[in-house]
Amino acid sequence: MAVKPLVETDFYRMQTRLALRNCGVIDPESIDEYIARDGYQALARALLDLQPADVIQIMKDSGLRGRGGGGFPAGLKWSFTAANAADQKYVVCNADEGDPGAFMDRSVLEGDPHAIVEAMAICGYATGATEGYVYVRAEYPIAVKRLEIAIAAAKELGLLGKNILGSGFDFELFIRLGAGAFVCGEETALMTSIEGNRGEPRPRPPYPAVKGLFAKPTTENNVETFANVPQIILHGAEPFAAMGTEKSKGSKVFALGGNITNTGLVEIPMGTTLREVIEVIGGGIPGGHKFKAVQTGGPSGGCIPAEHLDIAIDYDNLSAIGCMIGSGGMIVMDDSKCMVDIARFFLDFTVDESCGKCSPCRIGTKRMLEILDKIIAGEGTLADVDKLEELAYHIKENSLCGLGQTAPNPVLATLRFFRDEYIAHVTEHRCPAGVCKSMLTYKIDPDKCIGCTLCARACPVNAISGKVKEVHVIDPLKCIKCGACETACKKVHAVYKG
Amino acid sequence: MLKKISKLPFTGTPEQEAQLQAIIASVDGDKSLLMHVMQKAQGIYGYLPFEVQAIIAEGMNIPLEHIYGVSTFYAQFALAPKGKYNISVCLGTACYVKGAQDILDKVTEELGIISGECTADGQFSIEACRCIGACGLAPVMMINDDVYGTLTPAQIPAILEKYRNA
């Protein structure tokens, strides 16, 4: 049987690799290999042929929007910093990839670190900054190492440092390590952290373009945003702007994971439908299960149900249904997942990661978590569901930064699309997916049980009684719902959750 | 984030302090490098007891309360020592959806300690960690620098046994 070329397989066929163009192709520790793939040509073009204003115009025309989650037009952001005169300006690269389930920034830093170095230097030239900081999370040691190698190699060739390529432009790059705080992915919190403080966000205005890092005008972009910059500057805005939808240009990397056959990073043109990503690229749901929801945007996003699978992926279409692209996590869930439990999972995350500076986020999310715990314990009421929703809107409106403003999204999105599951939890004390333990009872089907005693022997609390070759019974008062009996009864499947 | 603070007596050596002092000297009074110094200090001592924070406070001329604030803010800074083998079970979304909670429960059951604790013999500690970016291998756990992917609870006892006998 002939083997298909990689690019013809379903996984790669629909992808367009722009931000990931060098990942897995070049040796990330070799500056020569990067240069052989047109590396630093964009920087040379910017420094030698273009004025800073031209660079910004190309960025604006390309329509590139922030890939970290906000979706703010990058060219516009650069122009704000360029417009502010100051003795010192900074470029900051946000590599504090905190969204659990997203790893495209890690992949770019590990696979193509020079693209970030080059892009930040271009940004520095365009905005008038001479120093840049890359803030990398400490969980990514390989990314840090490769970035260090890349910076040293670029310095040696005079592509960083004083008088780059004889243009008179100076640019230095520094690395700072995070220490495990999700809120530091928020741009003002990240700057506070670089300054050596608790990473708490700052109120805006003043915006970072006016008063950012060390109180100087600062441009901050995410790794994936920067990864697109060299190609845009080198080839002009048109090829990039020709891809995608009306308001979301280019391609976006998604980290496909969860209950899906093919997992990994996929880079698709904006406007591809969720169905194409999940069914063609992802290869569908394994194990005979049915699709239930796809979670995008991490703890700030929401769960999208089957009826919306045909929407074209772009910033505005996902916002319209109360979800978001976010940094690009895309976790597929099958019918064995409980949406109330998933909402609780994300809220537990935000409660833990709330920095504590503003009370709507610090106290509000905690109260929401308590209500969800009550519902999951089978003690919730319909009034609790209403309270949960009301609280969610208050937190969204009154929190200081993006973390709090989006923290209720997982709850709101599941309430919107899977309200019946919440209702089943509070009115029937039933978890339709069979996840919430308090509402489970394990039973033995007397017609299937062959009296093999395996379940009784597996039970850690001796809750199962019955003689050999006779039907066994579970005592619900003793049962701790550990599920050991169900696992033990794998031959005849007599034990079931009811 | 709630932090477990160690009540064990501080056992730092003069050699460790000399290493730390060299790092403090190397940043040349740049207070924005506080986290860098704390990360290095944790590398030397394994955790950041108050005694170490006090050395940094003195050396960098930063109030101890500020350092304490920073050390309790970030998940990476430990105020209690970790085991010889630190087990991090990833509870990121992709891992959670693939059953990471069952993995954590099994590790907890096997070792008889909960997340954030260390076994009495100082061999193992457990922590539930954030996404480590290996979502394609979910569910994932790390023991020191070794990564274990596509785990099932049934594999856990054998994996732990390897380290017990090491």
Work out the pLDDT band at B136, boundaries 50, 70, 90.
confident
Q: Residues near A276 by Cβ (< 8 Å), separated by ≥ 6?
A: A14, A268
Rounded Cα–Cα distance for residues A279 and A291 (Å)? 10
* Domain edge (last residue) among A371, A400, A427: A427
Rounded Cα–Cα distance for residues A252 and A233 (Å)? 18
* CB-based contact A138:A180 (threshold 8 Å): yes
DSSP string, A17-38: -STTTTTTTS-TT-HHHHHHTT
Residue A225 lies inside a defined structural domain of this protein:
yes
The per-residue pLDDT for A1 is: 64
Residue A435 lies inside a defined structural domain of this protein:
no
Work out the pLDDT band at B133, boundaries 50, 70, 90.
confident
- Mean pLDDT to the nearest integer, B55-84: 93
Q: Which two tokens stand for residue B124?
A: 């193992």
Q: Do B35 and A177 touch (CB under 8 A)?
A: yes
Torsions phi, psi for A364 (to 5 deg)? -60, -45
Count of the separate structural domains present in chain A: 4
* CB-based contact A355:A189 (threshold 8 Å): yes
The neighbouring-strand residues paired with A291 are A334
* CB-based contact B102:A206 (threshold 8 Å): no
Spatial CA neighbour of A363 closest among A391, A384, A342: A391
Domain of residue A24: give its range.
17-241
Residue A7 lies inside a defined structural domain of this protein:
no
Residue A477 belongs to domain with CATH number: 3.30.70.20
Scan residues 54-113 of B and list those with Cβ closer than 8 Å to A: 66, 69-70, 73-77, 91-98
Residue A87 lies inside a defined structural domain of this protein:
yes
Indicate whether A445 and A412 sit together in one domain: no
Nearest by CB to B74, from A99, A179, A331: name it: A179
Rounded Cα–Cα distance for residues A162 and A158 (Å)? 8
* CB-based contact B98:B90 (threshold 8 Å): no
Work out the pLDDT band at A69, boundaries 50, 70, 90.
confident
* Domain edge (last residue) among A387, A404, A427: A427
Indicate whether A217 and A329 sit together in one domain: no
Indicate whether A65 and A199 sit together in one domain: yes
Indicate whether A345 and A330 sit together in one domain: no
Rounded Cα–Cα distance for residues A214 and A319 (Å)? 33
Q: Within an 8 Å CB–CB cutoff, is residue B132 touching chain A?
A: yes
Nearest CA in chain A to B37: A196
Spatial CA neighbour of A450 closest among A497, A491, A498: A491
Indicate whether A327 and A346 sit together in one domain: no
Query: Which positions in chain A touch B100 (Cβ < 8 Å)?
Result: none
Work out the pLDDT band at B2, boundaries 50, 70, 90.
low
Q: Within an 8 Å CB–CB cutoff, is residue A331 touching chain B?
A: yes
Residue A411 lies inside a defined structural domain of this protein:
yes
Higher pLDDT, A458 or A281: A281
pLDDT tens-place string over residues B21-37? 999 999 999 999 999 99
Residue A313 belongs to domain with CATH number: 3.10.20.600
Determine the residue among B97, B109, B115, B132 to mutate to test chain A binding: the one whose Cβ has the most chain A Cβ atoms within 10 Å.
Answer: B97
Indicate whether A80 and A228 sit together in one domain: yes
Residue A143 lies inside a defined structural domain of this protein:
yes
Residue A4 has pLDDT above 90, yes or no: no
Determine the residue among A90, A96, A103 to mutate to test chain B binding: the one whose Cβ has the most chain B Cβ atoms within 10 Å.
Answer: A103
Q: Do B130 and A180 touch (CB under 8 A)?
A: yes
pLDDT tens-place string over residues A132-165? 999 999 889 899 999 999 999 999 999 999 999 9
Q: Do B32 and A139 touch (CB under 8 A)?
A: no
Work out the pLDDT band at A22, boundaries 50, 70, 90.
very high
- Mean pLDDT to the nearest integer, A249-277: 96
pLDDT tens-place string over residues A156-212? 999 999 999 999 999 999 999 999 899 999 999 999 999 999 999 999 999 999 999
The per-residue pLDDT for A385 is: 97
Indicate whether A214 and A300 sit together in one domain: no
Nearest by CB to B76, from A179, A295, A298: name it: A179
Higher pLDDT, B81 or A97: A97
Distance from CA of A447 to the nearest CA of B (A): 29
Nearest by CB to B93, from A139, A176, A331: name it: A331
What's chain A's average pLDDT?
A: 94
Indicate whether A77 and A182 sit together in one domain: yes
* Domain edge (last residue) among A334, A352, A367: A334
Q: Which two tokens stand for residue A369?
A: 């978590």
The per-residue pLDDT for B1 is: 55
Residue A2 lies inside a defined structural domain of this protein:
no
- Mean pLDDT to the nearest integer, B141-150: 92
Determine the residue among A175, A263, A327, A480 to mutate to test chain B binding: the one whose Cβ has the most chain B Cβ atoms within 10 Å.
Answer: A263
Q: Do B76 and A329 touch (CB under 8 A)?
A: no
Rounded Cα–Cα distance for residues A344 and B104 (Å)? 17
Residue B127: strand, helix, or coil: strand
Indicate whether A217 and A155 sit together in one domain: yes
pLDDT tens-place string over residues A396-452? 999 999 999 999 999 999 999 999 999 999 999 999 998 998 888 888 999 999 999
Give the percent of chain A with pLDDT over 70.
100
Indicate whether A364 and A327 sit together in one domain: no
Residue A69 belongs to domain with CATH number: 3.40.50.11540
* CB-based contact A66:A77 (threshold 8 Å): yes
Q: Do B77 and A179 touch (CB under 8 A)?
A: yes
- Mean pLDDT to the nearest integer, A463-474: 92
Nearest by CB to A177, from B39, B96, B136: name it: B39
Q: Do A355 and B73 touch (CB under 8 A)?
A: yes
Indicate whether A75 and A223 sit together in one domain: yes
Look at the block and give the residue holding tokens 């519902």.
A375
* CB-based contact A488:A458 (threshold 8 Å): yes
The neighbouring-strand residues paired with A234 are none
Residue A88 lies inside a defined structural domain of this protein:
yes
Indicate whether A37 and A62 sit together in one domain: yes
Work out the pLDDT band at B82, boundaries 50, 70, 90.
confident
Query: Which positions in chain B touch A342 (Cβ < 8 Å)?
Result: 97
Angle at A297 between CA A224 and CA A19, to 5 degrees: 20
The per-residue pLDDT for A497 is: 82
